[in-house]
Amino acid sequence: MKKDDLITLDITDMGTDGEGIGKYEGFTFFVKDAVDGDRVEAKIMKMKKNYGYARLMQVLKPSPVRREPGCPHARPCGGCQLQAMDYQAQLDLKARKIQSHLIRIGGFADMPKPEIMGMENPWRYRNKAQFPFGTDREGRTVTGFYAARSHQIIPCTDCLLGVEENQMVLEKVLAHMEQYQIPAYDERSGKGLVRHVLIRKGFATGELMVCLILNGRTIKALDRLSASLQEIPGMTGITINVNTDNTNVIMGRELLLVWGRGYITDRIGNVTYQISPLSFYQVNPVQTQKLYETALEYADLKGTESVWDLYCGIGTISLFLAQKAGQVYGVEIVPEAIEDARANARLNGISNAEFFVGKAEEVLPKKYKEEGIHADVIVVDPPRKGCDPAALATIVRMQPKRIVYISCDSATLARDLKYLCQEGYEVRKVKGCDMFAFTMHVETVVMLSHKKTTA
């Protein structure tokens, strides 16, 4: 077997990146775009010692869960991995992914497959999109999404996971760039102006925000562009984010207001949130409500508890919890997010929530050591890399009755749960929540309680 050989194989599993997995003459092959249950013809792209990568050439016998992708860009675009799979089958795959991580990495040998909260409508669920701008081989300005593992832009102004307004915004920006000969940013040379356009919509309020991320502080005929964008229904604010660094970090730190307000508002349940472009906000508000309701149920608050919400962002979960707790303390590393969190507490007349800027792994130990703070319940919702060991060690020392762990990466979740369970905690409940249909991402919420207390 060698590169460019054609092989026929049955796909019998899916990998963590959504690729099909099958065996051929004792070798394991990873075949992107193949679906569990397919028989495919594939071309070998790369051979390793006992496995290889192959490209899907032809589906010889489709899997019962294979579907025609809704999006014409599904194969080249790196955004979705599961467009060719039935939605219920996607949910089952995600449940198995969580289960397998908890068994293999966490060591929870008898972990059952968790329940997954799925979406009623798995399309157009994203309230936020960041579109990169670039120049194609013919010299035309393009925007869309990156191809998988590359920075090549697949032109697409209407992603079916995003809101319909995205297309209106992008077409207006592209037309403006063409009219005034404004170049897109070029990552290699560091020249050119327009890097990304960030669009966010409040699903409950209809408010729309556009942020132009520029390699500079302004753009030619800005007033005209602004006026044109203001025509889009719901437009609430237009901002410029300045990013002149030669980096693939999307946003810079400086934000300039062009028109309207520098933030939008949205509602989850009965809490209203103010969201600025630099703050993290869950991208799927419908599923977020289910996730937070589960977190609240797992926290099992009676009204007097002291609750810590680590990695709190703009205070989304904190304010949800504050309605049922005695006092809530939020910790978050991004200062703008904490400003939003404080404003959000005021906006909702919530006076029992206090917020601290800093790293969870520094703020929590400091408060514990210097002020002897106490926690009945600790909620954590870290980024993909999971919790820092110092944060986990302090949580264990503080001995809260319950820990609610919300995770966007079940592998690091499993690692952290293993530690917590070695240090006196027990996993009581696990549930998945699908926030990102057609991708391999899945959110997990876990309730742990101290072995000394009953759940």
Report the nearest approach of ligand SAH to the CB of residue 39 (Å).
41
Give the nearer residue to ligand SAH in terms of CB position, either 98 or 445.
445
- Beta-strand pair 254-260/264-268: unpaired
Report the nearest approach of ligand SAH to the CB of residue 110 (Å).
30
Give the nearer residue to ligand SAH in terms of CB position, either 381 or 416.
381
Report the nearest approach of ligand SAH to the CB of residue 444 (Å).
13
Task: Please tell me the chain's helix, strand, coil percentages from 3-state DSSP, rounded to the nearest 5.
Answer: 25, 35, 40
Give the nearer residue to ligand SAH in terms of CB position, either 202 or 313.
313
- When CB distances to ligand SAH are compared, the closest residue is 313
Report the nearest approach of ligand SAH to the CB of residue 313 (Å).
3
The separation between CA 308 and the C-alpha centre of its own chain, rounded to angstroms, equals 22
Site residues for ligand SAH per CB under 6 A: 280-282, 311-313, 316-317, 331-334, 337, 359-361, 381-383
Active site residue 408: yes
* Residues 103 and 111: beta-carbon distance below 8 Å: yes
Return d(Cα 194, Cα 240) in angstroms, integer. 10
Whole-Å CA distances, 365 to 362, 373, 379, 398: 6, 10, 15, 9
**How is 45-88 classified by DSSP, letter by letter?**
EEE-SSEEEEEEEEEEE--TTB---SSTTTTTBSS-S-TTB-HH
Return d(Cα 77, Cα 67) in angstroms, integer. 17
Closest C-alpha to 128, from 255, 26, 266: 266
Report the nearest approach of ligand SAH to the CB of residue 37 (Å).
35
Give the nearer residue to ligand SAH in terms of CB position, either 154 or 445.
445
Give the nearer residue to ligand SAH in terms of CB position, either 174 or 322.
322
Can you name the residues that pair with 46 across neighbouring β-strands? Answer: 53
Q: Catalytic residue among 77, 312, 408, 433, which?
A: 408
Tokens representing 27 are 């070798």
Question: Which positions are catalytic?
Answer: 408
